[in-house]
Amino acid sequence: MGPTRKPNVCRQLSRRALGFFSRDAGVVQRTNLGILRALVCQESTKFKNVWTTHSKSPIAYERGRIYFDNYRCCVSSIASEPRKLYEMPKCSKSEKIEDALLWECPVGEILPNPLDYKSSLIALTAHNWLFRISATTGKVLEKIYLASYCKFRYLSWDTPQEVIAVKSAQNKGSVLARQVLSGSKCTNHCEHSEDWPSGLFSGDIYLSPQIFGNVTDATLSHGILIVMYSSGLVRLYSFQAITEQFMQQKLDLGCACRWGGTAGTVGEAPFGIPCNIKITDTPPLLFEVSSLENAFQIGGHPWHYIITPNKKKQKGVFHICALKDNSLNENLPVVTASGRVVKKNFNLLDDDPEQETFKIVDYEDELDLLSVVAVTQIDAEGKAHLDFHCNEYGTLLKSIPLVESWDVTYSHEVYFDRDLVLHIEQKPSRVFSCYVYQMVCDPAEEETTNRSCEKE
């Protein structure tokens, strides 16, 4: 099953201190992550439950920060015990944060304000404001008013850390409108903003049912408009082609604008951001495919996409197909966006439903580990453990027992982030729980390791 020789952490640390990797920052980073992987997987390393908390509002996690009370309370998990970073003042229901993204400055960009280089939380409020909030203090640094003509609810990255997409809720039309639109219940708006601190804005799209049909959902990703339908159909369009063909007027945040007989400043209340892209004809279709519950992922090199066949009995089955000819490739290694190859042989992870089942499978690209949450049902109570598998050979390297019980009827999220494991659980009646595990080493085992290092 591959080589068994373990990397010598002490030797790697010594080589790093002597400057062996100083000419290449990438080599230093990979070396550091290799050291961390060795520490995570060694037998003496344990993951200890250091903190547990409960909340009546959703709990979110992003890069070492745990968010409570609709993102208004932020707790740092990068410590021996989580500590509160900030808590924003209480607000009315109309001002609550609906969704948020952690923004970190793009590499190679010159930004106008030194504060722009520090991490920020991009937050969307219930009353259609977009806030840029300091990730360390909770102070509002910038704000944009979107519009009053629809309700915005969701944020996503079009291009990670560079381009933000803001999506509206799906609104039910009037009875007359539903009759005219053949029962369509959705009107979708999607706003597209580039490099917010520099004040650029691309456009606001309205997905008309007359043009796109009975749309159930839509999103923007890497310059592609992805439109989904209740039948499982997924259609892809070029956002750039849409803007070039249908943009009525270019808009810049903070600049004066006249629209529909009204003058105002783009991004300020009450003017907001006009709907400046009006699609009057079906745009050129790039690609379409049918998939169960619209499950669709695209990427890799060469380009491939992953779908689930559009039949209920096929749920849990995934097909990897070539984008150029739609051919099914069952033995293709998946290449991630970071350039790593996921070679895992999934036959090695075949579960036994009567003994234990796999609930969450994820790939930790920095440490090149596959993490698997397995649950064993004991009478009415379930117990879970998080397993780390070698991505190259599929061998089990580490198993971490979770101390809390696992109810398979609840909603669960598990994050493995370097030296942290975090489990978020949603119970009935909107009760949320958060369990934080930190990496620790057995002192006796560590002393033995240090002595062996000194001899080398």
> Considering the domain boundaries, does residue 151 fall inside one?
yes
Q: What Å distances lie between residue 343 and 6, 77, 336, 361, CA to CA?
A: 20, 31, 11, 14
CA angle 392, 398, 402 (to 5 degrees): 135
Is residue 377 over pLDDT 70? yes
Structural domain of 201: 91-172+182-289
In DSSP terms, 168 is beta-bridged to 152
Handedness of CA 90, 101, 118, 202 (dihedral sign): negative
Q: What is the domain count for the chain?
A: 2
Cα–Cα distance measured from residue 394 to residue 369, given in angstroms and rounded to the nearest whole number: 9
Residues 200 and 310 in one domain: no
Q: Is the dihedral of CA 93, 95, 99, 104 positive or negative?
A: negative
Q: Mind listing the pLDDT tens digit for each residue in 402-416?
A: 999 999 889 999 999
Share of the chain above pLDDT 90, in %: 34
With cut-offs at 50, 70 and 90, classify the pLDDT of residue 5: low
Q: Residue 190 pLDDT more than 90? A: no
Place 187 in a pLDDT band, splitting at 50, 70 and 90: very low
**Banded model confidence at residue 78, pLDDT cuts 50, 70, 90:** confident
- Domain boundary at 345, 361, 382, which? 345
Q: Which two tokens stand for residue 120?
A: 């920020």
Judge whether 45 lies within some domain.
no
Residue 388 is assigned to a structural domain of this protein: no
Same domain for 96 and 213: yes
DSSP H or E segment with residue 98: strand 97-103
What is the model's pLDDT at position 107?
A: 60
Specify the higher pLDDT residue, 436 or 301: 436
Asked, for residue 80, whether it belongs to a domain, the answer is no
- Asked if 203 and 192 count as a contact pair (C-beta separation under 8 A), the reply is yes
- Considering the domain architecture, whether residues 144 and 167 belong to the same structural domain is answered as yes
Q: Is residue 70 part of a domain?
A: no
Is 156 found in the same domain as 279?
yes
What pTM was computed for the model?
A: 0.79
Q: What would the mean pLDDT of 42-47 be, rounded to a whole number? A: 91
Could you tell me if residue 270 is inside a domain?
yes
Q: For residue 158, which of 95, 242, 89 has the smallest C-alpha distance?
A: 242
* In a shared domain, residues 105 and 218: yes
Cα separation, 94 vs 329, in Å, equals 49
DSSP track, 135-151:
TTT--EEEEEE--SSS-
Does 452 reside within a domain? no
Cβ atoms within 10 Å, residue 205:
26
Q: Which residues contact 418 (CB under 8 A, 6 or more apart)?
A: 36, 40, 366, 367
Mean pLDDT of 145-170: 83
- Among the candidates 289, 323, 358, a domain finishes at 289
Examine the domain organization and report whether 326 and 269 are in the same domain.
no
Domain assignment of residue 198, yes or no: yes
Phi then psi for residue 82, to 5 deg, are: -55, 140
Q: Strands across the sheet with 420-427, in order?
A: 45-55, 431-441, 420-427, 411-417
Cα 420 from Cα 3, distance rounded (Å): 27
Q: Which long-range contacts (CB under 8 A, 24 or more apart) does 139-146 make?
A: 141/115, 142/196, 142/197, 144/193, 144/196, 144/253, 144/267, 144/273, 145/267, 145/268, 145/269, 145/270, 145/271, 145/272, 145/273, 146/191, 146/272, 146/273
Same-domain pairing of 197 and 315: no
What is the predicted pLDDT for the residue at 99?
94
Asked whether the beta carbons of 198 and 142 are under 8 A apart, the reply is no
Is residue 167 domain-shared with residue 115, that is, in the same domain? yes
As a whole number of angstroms, the distance between CA 62 and CA 420 comes to 12
Q: Per-residue confidence at 219, pLDDT binned at 50, 70, 90?
A: confident
pLDDT at 175: 22
Quote the tokens at residue 28: 């230093």
Indicate if 213 and 330 belong to the same structural domain: no
CA–CA separation, 170 and 177 (whole Å): 14
Question: Going by C-beta distance under 8 Å and a sequence separation of 6 or more, which residues neighbour residue 243?
Answer: 202, 203, 277
pLDDT tier for residue 345 given thresholds of 50, 70 and 90: very low
Based on the domain organization, do 283 and 334 belong to the same domain?
no
366 close to 34: Cβ distance less than 8 angstroms: no
Q: Read off the pLDDT of residues 225-256 as tens digits, 9 standing for 90 and up.
A: 889 999 999 999 998 899 899 988 888 888 89
Task: Judge if 188 and 248 occupy the same domain.
Answer: yes
> Measuring CA to CA, which residue among 300, 302, 301, 303 is closest to residue 286?
303
Tokens representing 312 are 């209920």
For the chain, the residue count is 456
Q: Which of 223, 255, 289 is the last residue of a domain?
A: 289
Closest by CA position to 141, among listed 107, 174, 118 = 118
Same domain, 166 and 223: yes
Q: How far is CA 292 from CA 212, 232, 308, 360, 442, in A?
A: 20, 6, 5, 19, 47
